[in-house]
Amino acid sequence: MSSQKFSNPTGKVTVQRDLLDIEYCEDFFSEVDANGWFEYLAAKIPWERREIFIMGKKILQPRLICWYGDVEYTYSRSTLPSRKWTPQLQELKTIVEEYAQQKFNSCLLNFYRDGKDSMGYHSDDEKVLGKNPFIASLSFGGKRRFVLKHKKDKSIEKVEIELGNGSLLLMKSQTQHYWLHGIPKTQKEVKPRINLTFRWTYPK
Ligand SMILES: O=C(O)CCC(=O)C(=O)O
Ligand SMILES: [Fe+2]
């Protein structure tokens, strides 16, 4: 897939309000390229379903995941070993780094098999991500609703984005301090979706 480059995205939206700072590129990859990436990732990533602890209770995560990067990652009492970048993931990382003008050393991959797979509200604010984490999130496959809500002030309007095939979402500045984000379950018929969130993780 070495010929793949982002196609000077046109559908770019920036939302900056109430200490939220995000940028969304709808057409970061062409549809053809995005479909190619979906097929590659679905087939080649060693996806796993993990048990995690939520409020002391052991549950199976409602999606498949895989962690790549130069350092291991611990969350909800689950440790994900570091995994060496494949040339294809390295290529995606470089494309995103060039566009975002940021370096990343790790990536959490999520596979939402259907509408029952989801990610609960959270912020990517672990200590190992540093003070103001810069998160770059690529989406391939079926469109899913991504919702951001303010952590404390319920009167602040939520932000909702349909994350489409081949799109890139950047979350910047203090976003993770003040806002939660998640992918809600849906009853709608949705195609499988793969998401990659590139981050900079500081070694412990
Ligand atoms: O699937 C998504 O778009 C969200 C992923 C996410 O928030 C995360 O990996 O921390
Ligand atoms: Fe997240």
Residue type, position 195, single letter: N
- Residue 18 is predicted with a pLDDT of 87
| Reported confidence tier of residue 181, pLDDT bands at 50, 70, 90 | very high
Pairing outcome for strands 144-150 and 73-75? unpaired
Distance CA 182, CA 67 (A): 18
What is the average per-residue pLDDT within 115-130?
A: 93
pLDDT band at 104 (very low <50, low <70, confident <90, very high): very high
Q: 175: pLDDT confidence band, cut at 50, 70 and 90?
A: very high
Q: What gap in Å lies between CA 171 and CA 139, rounded to an integer?
A: 14
The residue with greater pLDDT, 16 or 101, is 101
Nearest CA to ligand 1 atom 7: 182
Ligand that comes closest to the CA of residue 179: 2
Q: Identify the weakest region by mean pLDDT among 13-27, 158-172, 189-203.
A: 13-27
What's the gap between Cα 183 and its chain centre? 10
71 pLDDT more than 80: yes
Does residue 92 register a pLDDT over 70? yes
The predicted pLDDT at position 9 comes to 62
User: 108 CB under 6 A from ligand 1?
Assistant: yes
Distance 112 CA to ligand 1 centre (A): 10
Tell me the C-alpha distance between 42 and 40, whole Å. Answer: 6
163 lines ligand 1 (CB under 6 A): yes
Which of the 8 DSSP states describes residue 48? Answer: B
CA nearest to 93, candidates 146, 42, 138: 138
Q: Which domains does the chain have, with CATH numbers?
A: 12-199 (2.60.120.590)
ipTM associated with this complex: 0.99
